[in-house]
Structure 1
Amino acid sequence: MDAHSRIKGGTANQGDRASWDNSVPVVVKALLDCGLDEVRVQVEVDLPHTNCAVDLVLCGQHPGTGADSYLAVELKQVRQATVDPLCPIAVDLGFGDGKNKLHPVRQIQRYCEYMMRYLPHLRQHENQLMGVALLHHARDAGVEALFDLPETDHGFLYTLDDLARFRRVLTSRFAPASGERAASALERARRDPLLKVTDVARQRSIVGGGLTLLDEQYVAVDRITRHLEKTTRFTGFDVGLFYDPEAAHSTAPLGGDVKRVYILRGGPGSGKSAVALELQRSLGLTGREAVLASGSHAYTETLREIMLSTARRGRAADKRHAAKQLYRYFNSFSDSPEDSIDVLICDEAHRMRRSSTHRWMPSALRDDARPQASELIKVAKVPIFLLDDHQSIRPDEVGTAEYLKELSEEMGCDVEVTDLEGTFRAGGSTQFQRWVQQLLGLDTSDPIAWRPDGKMTLAVADSPGQMEQFIRERHLEGATARITAGFCWPWSPPDGQRLVDDLHIGEWHRPWNVKPEHNVPHAPRSDLWATDRRGIDQVGCVYTAQTFEYDWNGVIIGPDLVFRDGKFRVNRRASRDPAFLDSIDDAVVTRCILNAYHVLLTRGVVGTVVYAVDPATQNELRKLIPGTIGMQHYDGAQPKLTAEGSQLPPAYRRRHR
């Protein structure tokens, strides 16, 4: 009691004392039974910057590593519990007050996430903090419904029937040694300042944005440039003593008779575009010709726009012409001579089409049977492809590492495949990338609950309106922020000088981004939607979002993707994408829609907020994602909508009778 008064600045009330008397001895006895009498037990541990506290934090030494080890324990004196049928994280714990509470597993998961975010000491070692909810008066049968919520290392559920298992957790977390060091370290630990959203946005890594290459990125670029140094005839301006103009402009392949094709494969945010741009820049500095091609209109036009913005007065036309030569489309090489380009860097190669034939192509050049990739390989002395196997989003996009490797080898080329395994998006969270693939069934594993890692913020919005409010506040604070949606609504041409509000979800309605063939006052062109600040006023589609990233990412999952029987399933009839003709096989449409959401969910650098139109899918997201967004009240400040979240979605704070 004296310690509570000293630390909390006030005496404990009768309810606190009764709770401690009923609950704390259960945990202490379990420690003593395990011979862990030197583990330190901290009671009512405050979460930084809030009036919330963890019931107990056990502090000791890990039995395997000797490092500081912590177990956060949320104690509940309940015997019965039911889950609200409208919301899987809202539960009636049987207190008789008619009020729903946050699921105890979700509560301790959130507490652990918060502790990791604001106490750097807990991030020094992997799995340093674990969390459990202990319902020490309840039998499994009385709280059976609570076990449906997925458990994580930050939130396991134990009852009176599970005390033996709880003791095994204690012995797996703590050695029979003094916990004084761990307890003192946690008490003295530096507390990060309150992490406002603007602070998070400023943490955007200069590694990815500044084109400083690391790890596999650096190795890939180094291998390619070394190959070029050994095999490329110099075609720059410094002719040098041994310059041979005839050999320099020869169309013969480089490095002997066998052409080498480089394939760099990586997930979202793995630095593929950083590699592409850095390769082009470094080769350009040495006078070598390096053309960057893409199948993305938005990406190519943005790069051209950036280059044009550097033009000196009176030189805009020359700069525009140079930009069109340096940044091109995959289908612009149909009539180019063989080996006419030194280095061709094909970014976004997953958007490679089966052929380059298009409606404006002259009949003399049409060849539906000739693969587009073969044109690109032939035209370049050194072809380089950068791709993600899970980002082909149209039926005629065939770019995968396996496809390109087989085609290159059929053409007699050597092939080198490199995997870029790092990530420079989602706060550097490789866990988030894997989680998205599991969620969508792009991995062999089933969907699992998101375990916050202190790097990426992931939350569920209660409505598209709440999502928009949150995203707009981040935008007003100076962060880059956008909302995207699945292609489940019509995409109308402008009504005169005004965009049409095609997206309708309940009373909420907003327009898509501008169509590529149109211009609308006060709205960015479609290819600039992701980078122009005015893009905040429209909802983007996958075709304008792909390749780009922004600090805060709002994603509306439309009715074309629903969660049924433990996994996401595609409903092709709900899609409004004109690319999905009736003649397209269901398996192809499923691949494209899953890949489209894979793209949309992985655009965020700092955080992602999701909302599903389908109610059952929305509830499954609530089960799998601990994070919410809600109004937070800080002393002396106006309430702000933040990603820390309310403890329950507002609609479910009280059970409806």
Structure 2
Amino acid sequence: MLLQLSAAELGQLIIARAGSAHLPLTEQLINKHHEIKGQKATQGDIASWDNSIPVVVRALLDCGLDEVEVLVEVDLPHTNSAVDLVLCGQHPGTGTNSYLAIELKQVRRATIDARCPIAVDLGFGDGKNKLHPVRQVQRYCEYMVRYLRHLRDGSAHLMGVALLHNARDADVEALFDLPESEHGFLYTLDDLHRFRRVLTSRFVATSGRQAAFALRESRRAPLLKVTDVARQRSVIGGGLTLLDEQYVAFDRITRHLEKTAPRTSLDVGLFYDADNAHRPPPESGGKRVYILRGGPGSGKSAVALELQRALGLKGREAVLASGSRAYTETLREIMLSTAREGQVSNKRRSANRLYQYFNNFAKTPPDSIDVLICDEAHRMRRSSTYRWTPKELRDDDRPQAAEVIRAAKVLIFLLDDHQSIRPDEVGTARYLKELAEANGCQVEVSDLEGTFRAGGSKLYQQWVQRLLGLGVSDPLAWHSDGRMTLTVADSPEQMERFIRERDLEGATARITAGFCWPWNNPNGERLVDDVHIGDWRRPWNVKPQHSVPNAPKSHLWSTDALGIGQIGCVYTAQTFEYDWNGVIIGPDLLFRHGKFTVARSASRDPAFRGPIDDSTVDRCVRNAYHVLLTRGVIGTMVYAVDPATHNELRRLIPGAIGMQHYDGAQPKLTAEGSQLPPAYSRRQR
């Protein structure tokens, strides 16, 4: 949140001053934005603060609601999305806390995408459709209710509105076709009198400070991780609250499937609706392929799982494929865990059919799968041929993606261009688009720009990409935006102690490392301590083909409590997330002359053996650390084996793991505060 003031206090800040380019309120918000988020406010933000917020403040003052508290730019928990304004006060009927979430739009005209009723051109001139303002605020409200306990306990009530204060009804008429709800009403310049009636129906003329405090201090429910979503869906049929670009993509795809479903008496349950049988015929053209591109934590897997769930509710089976063994086997095991007595075999067959690998489709008949969702599509390989492929099935020239495209009627690829980690992984948005179009498909590419990981810190994602040289800019020092905790550990022992303490507190916590140590088979029933740094030694996670007592199988390493005893590799960690993320940067990534360089000779990854060119190895190593550094939901700590690299991390990252007292108890490692002198630590041992 950028600012909290009463309507009366804001009223003093929206009076223009001679010679000033902006209102006093806007100048204050510009400074707050830079202070909190570490970057300059956009012109769109500044224009909204100058032109939109005063409309709401004047409406409150006109209604005599001077003491209603106004929260500006209220962050949604765990995301980088924010509600423009949240008004806080007391409800006139019940006397309980009352809240009004407001999305402000300066648009004057808006048109609906003919293909999707919730995708809207708001006239920004960037060629990108946005989520319908009403649906946007509806989803924001639903998300707040899901994650803020105070809004669910019955002592508070939340309403949402989208306010297009520059637009006339006639110029945005199509927007009114979307059904409104308590969490989403639409008001325009023609409706300002109605908007004022909303204010008087929601608030009384008393202080809203207590309501604002209760909302700010509301206990935040933990973010649902990928495995939580899959488990909840399997057990109780629960879905996700998709936001912004996520929801536009989801709705666009499901509507296309509704429109193109066959309409015969045999298709009841597959989006067939006898009452709408007079609708226009299905869209003509080639097979439809959707490509959803997004960074770590942008919700790609959430969209994939929600699509599969929603299609299943409509009676339409969607297969979810991946190139990740850990991801696929985890989803299968979650589904298997719901089997009733005597139904285990049937449930296992269903799980194996619904969750598959990219290399499972070489012999699949054309168009035999209704919908094929390819999550982690950046792991799509050049071909499905591998060392155990029978000779008669080997075809090194047939792209794996072509097999996948041929197998299904509708394809959905979800990917991150910076997460391919093997030399033969070629799944970029450009590659898949060109291949699909060469096979006669209609292709749509959408970007998921939000982030649900790293505390919703977009700044952290950008910082990691700059650090690793995945963008056009050089590395820069970390400046916290208050969302993500980033610290440096001085030793692997210190990192492990911190991670284990977070685990004992009930958080999920893991350590991963670059592939710079051998990965031996178990010694009987014991893992080998392959990862060694000085006197510190720990084993890798269990290899996929092995089982070891008191250690989880490889695909359960990130979710089984016993996984904290091993060091995870990139192949095990990819796709998953945990609250606290420890990352050991091995000697394959060295900071020299102001940037990271890849030392190929230090890598022990068998994928780099043979005639693999250096540029490919460079890409894979950087992408691997990009994956490792973006698994944390709450915080990430790093340690580099190379002293010069570690010193550079110390220079770039202010945070350190500190020793703090708690009520006279033994010192405890925390991620806050400066580290105490070594002598102090020695006295406490």
Instruction: Please give the range of the TM-score, normalised by the shorter of the 2 chains.
Output: 0.5 to 0.7
- Which of these residues, 403, 406, 411, is aligned with residue 375 of structure 1? 403
- Indicate the residue corresponding to 2:482 in structure 1: 454
Judged with a 3 Å threshold, the aligned counterparts in structure 2 of structure 1 residues 265 and 650 are, in CA distance, closer, same or farther, namely farther
Judged with a 3 Å threshold, the aligned counterparts in structure 2 of structure 1 residues 414 and 650 are, in CA distance, closer, same or farther, namely farther
- Indicate the residue corresponding to 1:29 in structure 2: none
SS in 1 for 2:597: strand
Residue 312 in structure 1 maps to residue 340 in structure 2: yes
Letter in 2 for 1:503: V
SS in 1 for 2:435: helix
- Answer whether contact 1:628 1:649 (CA < 8 A) is retained: no
The alignment yields a C-alpha RMSD, in angstroms, of 3.3
- Indicate the residue corresponding to 2:635 in structure 1: 607
* Separation in structure 2 between the aligned mates of residue 652 and residue 589 of structure 1, nearest angstrom: 44
- Which of these residues, 273, 284, 291, is aligned with residue 263 of structure 1? 291
- Answer whether contact 1:236 1:286 (CA < 8 A) is retained: no
Residue 568 in structure 1 maps to residue 601 in structure 2: no
Letter in 2 for 1:471: I
* Separation in structure 1 between the aligned mates of residue 424 and residue 282 of structure 2, nearest angstrom: 32
Residue 232 in structure 1 maps to residue 261 in structure 2: yes
Letter in 1 for 2:618: T
- Indicate the residue corresponding to 1:150 in structure 2: none
Letter in 2 for 1:588: T
* Separation in structure 1 between the aligned mates of residue 469 and residue 272 of structure 2, nearest angstrom: 59
Letter in 2 for 1:204: L
SS in 1 for 2:27: coil
- Indicate the residue corresponding to 2:418 in structure 1: 390
Q: Give per-residue Cα distances to partners, 1:608-652, cap 9 Å, x unaligned.
A: 010000000000001111111021123444421100042467499
Q: CA deviation at 1:214?
A: 0.8
- Indicate the residue corresponding to 2:27 in structure 1: 65
- Indicate the residue corresponding to 2:223 in structure 1: 204
Letter in 2 for 1:549: E
* Separation in structure 1 between the aligned mates of residue 545 and residue 282 of structure 2, nearest angstrom: 41
- Indicate the residue corresponding to 2:540 in structure 1: 512
Q: CA deviation at 1:238?
A: 4.0
- Answer whether contact 1:343 1:383 (CA < 8 A) is retained: yes
* Separation in structure 1 between the aligned mates of residue 371 and residue 461 of structure 2, nearest angstrom: 31
* Separation in structure 1 between the aligned mates of residue 416 and residue 679 of structure 2, nearest angstrom: 39
Judged with a 3 Å threshold, the aligned counterparts in structure 2 of structure 1 residues 190 and 237 are, in CA distance, closer, same or farther, namely closer
Residue 531 in structure 1 maps to residue 493 in structure 2: no
- Which of these residues, 288, 300, 316, is aligned with residue 316 of structure 2? 288
Q: CA deviation at 1:413?
A: 1.1
- Answer whether contact 1:409 1:415 (CA < 8 A) is retained: yes
- Answer whether contact 1:62 1:68 (CA < 8 A) is retained: no
- Which of these residues, 273, 288, 312, is aligned with residue 301 of structure 2? 273
- Answer whether contact 2:484 2:634 (CA < 8 A) is retained: yes
Q: Give per-residue Cα distances to partners, 1:445-475, cap 9 Å, x unaligned.
A: 1001111011100000000000000000000
Q: CA deviation at 1:534?
A: 0.3
Moved more, 62-71 or 510-519: 62-71
Q: Give per-residue Cα distances to partners, 1:213-234, cap 9 Å, x unaligned.
A: 1111100010000100111227
Letter in 1 for 2:567: V
Residue 358 in structure 1 maps to residue 380 in structure 2: no
SS in 2 for 1:435: helix
**TM-score, normalised via structure 2 length:** 0.65
- Answer whether contact 1:254 1:382 (CA < 8 A) is retained: no
* Separation in structure 1 between the aligned mates of residue 337 and residue 431 of structure 2, nearest angstrom: 37
Q: CA deviation at 1:343?
A: 0.4
- Indicate the residue corresponding to 1:215 in structure 2: 244
Q: CA deviation at 1:64?
A: 5.1
- Answer whether contact 1:551 1:607 (CA < 8 A) is retained: yes
**Between the two proteins, what is the percent identity of the paired residues?**
71
* Separation in structure 2 between the aligned mates of residue 71 and residue 595 of structure 1, nearest angstrom: 31
- Indicate the residue corresponding to 1:184 in structure 2: none
Q: CA deviation at 1:263?
A: 0.2
- Indicate the residue corresponding to 1:171 in structure 2: none
Letter in 1 for 2:674: S
Residue 484 in structure 1 maps to residue 446 in structure 2: no
- Answer whether contact 2:225 2:577 (CA < 8 A) is retained: no
* Separation in structure 2 between the aligned mates of residue 503 and residue 482 of structure 1, nearest angstrom: 15
Residue 337 in structure 1 maps to residue 299 in structure 2: no
Judged with a 3 Å threshold, the aligned counterparts in structure 2 of structure 1 residues 241 and 505 are, in CA distance, closer, same or farther, namely closer
- Indicate the residue corresponding to 1:442 in structure 2: 470
Q: Give per-residue Cα distances to partners, 1:590-623, cap 9 Å, x unaligned.
A: 0000000000000000000100000000000011
Judged with a 3 Å threshold, the aligned counterparts in structure 2 of structure 1 residues 266 and 124 are, in CA distance, closer, same or farther, namely closer
Residue 633 in structure 1 maps to residue 661 in structure 2: yes
- Indicate the residue corresponding to 2:147 in structure 1: none
- Answer whether contact 1:270 1:425 (CA < 8 A) is retained: yes
- Answer whether contact 2:300 2:414 (CA < 8 A) is retained: yes
- Which of these residues, 305, 312, 330, is aligned with residue 302 of structure 1? 330
Q: CA deviation at 1:441?
A: 0.3
Judged with a 3 Å threshold, the aligned counterparts in structure 2 of structure 1 residues 206 and 480 are, in CA distance, closer, same or farther, namely closer
* Structure number with bigger Rg: 1
SS in 2 for 1:256: coil
Judged with a 3 Å threshold, the aligned counterparts in structure 2 of structure 1 residues 237 and 633 are, in CA distance, closer, same or farther, namely same
* Separation in structure 1 between the aligned mates of residue 28 and residue 641 of structure 2, nearest angstrom: 48
Judged with a 3 Å threshold, the aligned counterparts in structure 2 of structure 1 residues 646 and 72 are, in CA distance, closer, same or farther, namely farther
Letter in 2 for 1:381: K
- Indicate the residue corresponding to 2:100 in structure 1: none
- Answer whether contact 2:261 2:271 (CA < 8 A) is retained: no
Q: CA deviation at 1:476?
A: 0.7
- Indicate the residue corresponding to 1:113 in structure 2: none
Judged with a 3 Å threshold, the aligned counterparts in structure 2 of structure 1 residues 523 and 508 are, in CA distance, closer, same or farther, namely same
Letter in 1 for 2:389: M
- Which of these residues, 471, 474, 482, is aligned with residue 499 of structure 2? 471
* Separation in structure 2 between the aligned mates of residue 220 and residue 284 of structure 1, nearest angstrom: 18
Moved more, 232-241 or 442-451: 232-241
- Which of these residues, 403, 408, 412, is aligned with residue 436 of structure 2? 408
- Answer whether contact 1:268 1:388 (CA < 8 A) is retained: yes
Residue 577 in structure 1 maps to residue 605 in structure 2: yes
RCO higher in structure (CA 8 A, sep ≥6):
1
SS in 2 for 1:293: strand
- Indicate the residue corresponding to 2:529 in structure 1: 501
SS in 2 for 1:473: helix
* Separation in structure 2 between the aligned mates of residue 68 and residue 491 of structure 1, nearest angstrom: 51
**TM-score, normalised via structure 1 length:** 0.68
* Separation in structure 1 between the aligned mates of residue 622 and residue 367 of structure 2, nearest angstrom: 37
- Answer whether contact 2:270 2:316 (CA < 8 A) is retained: no
- Answer whether contact 2:477 2:652 (CA < 8 A) is retained: yes
- Answer whether contact 2:659 2:676 (CA < 8 A) is retained: no
- Answer whether contact 2:541 2:557 (CA < 8 A) is retained: yes
Q: CA deviation at 1:236?
A: 6.0
Q: CA deviation at 1:211?
A: 2.2
* Separation in structure 1 between the aligned mates of residue 224 and residue 299 of structure 2, nearest angstrom: 12
Judged with a 3 Å threshold, the aligned counterparts in structure 2 of structure 1 residues 242 and 538 are, in CA distance, closer, same or farther, namely closer
Judged with a 3 Å threshold, the aligned counterparts in structure 2 of structure 1 residues 603 and 71 are, in CA distance, closer, same or farther, namely closer
Letter in 2 for 1:311: A
SS in 1 for 2:307: helix
SS in 2 for 1:404: helix
Letter in 2 for 1:424: F
